[in-house]
């Protein structure tokens, strides 16, 4: 399937932000660790979430969908600790089932993510963490096998700040007797959200949101009802849509503090930002100013917003430099922007972007989730007609993307396309 759009209209109006995909992907496995049912609210209705729910059903979890955004999960019916279906290999976050099942059942086998195209994405830090908790952790024929006769608290220093490893070790540690300390932990909002949810279930986690997370193992986790935080990256994508199309967009149901790094860059580029308690209005100006940006772990500028800012810079007046410091190979979409007349040069992990007066519509292919969304923004800010193919990627993480864009004035529709690729794994 592809999106077909005609650019050039300023996008204006209100966008209601969905729950955070990356938080939900950790919260669902956390839920199966409880001895009682857990209700998760504000779940985004996106493909990655559906895949994980299906994988959970396959191992015996009882999943009841109250509506598109609310699900009741009962992990007490789990009858298998091996997760290996064709779909789970397509979502990287399936590995959170490792931490959750290891923590609860002391054994787990989960298929590794398949095709992955933002460079090497190892899981050595996850395995190092599990081993510090007394587990054996091996990879055999693409399946990660973790086993612990005697799971216990441990002291882990993460060699790289990893969101995935922080969450996975936290999941494995909450039921492990004794104390666990995770140093150099990731501080992303979704790490905090998963910790908050686990604490509501009776876990004893302190320090989530700082470099050091301390966990005292508890005997059991109880049921709860928990709403997922709003999606920082979805909100950031729509904020950049205002900048790129010179429109005026209010993103609703967000946590403005999570948006600070993104708001600062938009201000630097000349946009006007008005913050309310749970909403932000971005007013784009006729000429964007260039800026330099480096992706960093939270609270820095998120790597998942790197393609979106690159699109904005391609329309700015002057030169901006984008440095990608989290993932290798995350500039694959730049070839697509060149087709639109953008001036971008890549050297290693740096993109030098010389803004041009206008970019023109072209036929594009989304290489992954976030870059796909950024190419749509480019199409909406370009002259003429653009198509973006491989939109299955975008559907992995953006709920009703085209519909939300149409509501703010975009001329965009879904049309049948040649390809249906779901091999990429990013974001």
| Choice between 123 and 175, CB closer to ligand UD1 | 123
Provide CB contacts within 8 A for 348, sequence distance 6+: none
As measured in angstroms, the least distance from the Cβ of 177 to ligand UD1 is 25
- 34-42, 104-112, 116-124, 261-269 -> range binding ligand UD1 (CB under 6 A): 116-124
Give the range of 104-112, 162-170, 278-286, 411-419 binding ligand UD1 by CB under 6 A: 162-170
3-class DSSP state of 168: helix
Helix (H, G, I), strand (E, B) or coil at 107: strand
Closest CA to 128 of 119, 137, 116: 137
If binding means CB under 6 A, how many residues of this protein chain bind ligand UD1? 22
Looking at the Cβ atoms of 28 and 311, the one nearer to ligand UD1 is 28
- How far is it, in rounded angstroms, from Cα 317 to Cα 290? 6
Residue closer to ligand UD1 by CB (options 11, 262) is 262
| Binding of ligand UD1 by 126 (CB under 6 A) | yes
Out of 69, 92, 104, 106, the only residue in the binding site for ligand UD1 (CB under 6 A) is 92
Min dist CB 270 to ligand UD1, Å, is 27
Scanning residues 176 to 205, which ones bind ligand UD1 (CB under 6 A)? 186
Considering only residues 180, 245, 303, 424, which one is a binding residue for ligand UD1 as defined by CB under 6 A? 303
Is 422 one of the binding residues for ligand UD1 (CB under 6 A)? no
Pair type for strands 319-323 and 293-294: parallel
Which of 15, 27, 81, 93 forms a contact with ligand UD1 (CB under 6 A)? 93
- Out of 231, 234, 304, 336, the only residue in the binding site for ligand UD1 (CB under 6 A) is 304
CA distances from 84 to 55, 158, 164, 370, 427 (A): 8, 27, 19, 26, 21
* Class of residue 155 by CB neighbours under 10 A (exposed 0-12, middle 13-18, buried 19+): exposed
Residue 327 binding ligand UD1, by CB under 6 A: yes
Q: Does 427 bind ligand UD1 (CB under 6 A)?
A: yes
> In the complex with ligand UD1, which residue's Cβ is closer, 191 or 316?
191
Q: Which residue has the tokens 């730049």?
A: 334
- For 104, the 3-state DSSP assignment is helix
Helical segments of 133-188, H only: 163-173
The CA R_g of the chain, rounded to the nearest whole Å, is: 21
DSSP 152: -
Beta bridge partners of 182: 156, 213
List of residues contacting ligand UD1 (CB under 6 A): 22, 25, 92-93, 121-126, 160, 162-165, 186, 302-304, 326-327, 427
């Amino acid at each position: 399937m592809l999106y077909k759009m005609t650019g050039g209209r300023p996008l204006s109006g209100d966008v209601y932000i969905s729950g955070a995909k990356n938080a939900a992907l950790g919260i669902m496995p956390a839920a199966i660790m409880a001895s009682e049912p857990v209700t998760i609210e504000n779940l985004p209705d996106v493909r990655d979430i559906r895949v994980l729910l299906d994988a959970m059903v396959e191992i015996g979890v009882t999943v009841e969908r109250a509506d598109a955004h609310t699900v009741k999960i009962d992990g007490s019916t789990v009858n298998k600790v091996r997760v290996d279906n064709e779909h789970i290999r397509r979502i990287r976050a399936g590995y959170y089932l490792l931490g959750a099942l290891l923590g609860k059942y002391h054994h787990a086998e989960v298929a590794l993510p398949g095709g992955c195209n933002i460079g090497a994405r190892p899981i050595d830090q996850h395995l190092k963490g599990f081993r510090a908790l007394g587990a054996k952790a091996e990879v055999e024929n693409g399946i990660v096998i973790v086993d612990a006769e005697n799971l216990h608290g441990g002291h882990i220093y993460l060699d790289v700040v990893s969101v995935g490893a922080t969450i996975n070790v936290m999941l494995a540690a909450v039921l492990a007797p004794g104390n666990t300390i995770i140093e150099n932990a990731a501080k992303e909002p979704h790490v905090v959200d998963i910790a908050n949810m686990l604490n509501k279930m009776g876990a004893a986690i302190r320090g989530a949101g700082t470099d050091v997370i301390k966990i005292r193992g508890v005997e059991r986790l109880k049921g709860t009802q928990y709403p997922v935080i709003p999606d920082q990256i979805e909100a950031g994508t729509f904020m950049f849509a205002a900048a790129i199309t010179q429109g005026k967009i209010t993103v609703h149901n967000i946590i403005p503090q999570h948006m600070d790094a993104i708001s600062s860059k938009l201000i630097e580029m000349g946009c006007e930002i008005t913050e309310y308690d749970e909403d932000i209005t971005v007013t784009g100006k006729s000429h964007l100013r260039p800026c330099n940006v480096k992706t960093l772990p939270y609270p820095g500028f998120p790597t998942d917003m790197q393609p979106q800012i690159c699109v904005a810079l391609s329309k700015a007046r002057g030169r901006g430099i984008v440095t990608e410091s989290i993932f290798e190979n995350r500039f694959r979409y730049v070839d697509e922007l060149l087709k639109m007349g953008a001036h971008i040069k890549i050297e290693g992990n740096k993109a030098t972007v010389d803004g041009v007066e206008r970019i023109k519509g072209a036929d594009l292919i989304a290489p992954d989730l976030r870059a796909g969304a950024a190419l749509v923004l480019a199409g909406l800010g370009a002259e003429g007609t653009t198509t973006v193919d491989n939109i299955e990627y975008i559907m992995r993480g953006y709920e009703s993307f085209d519909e939300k864009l149409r509501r703010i004035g975009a001329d965009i529709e879904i049309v049948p396309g040649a390809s249906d690729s779901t091999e990429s794994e990013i974001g």
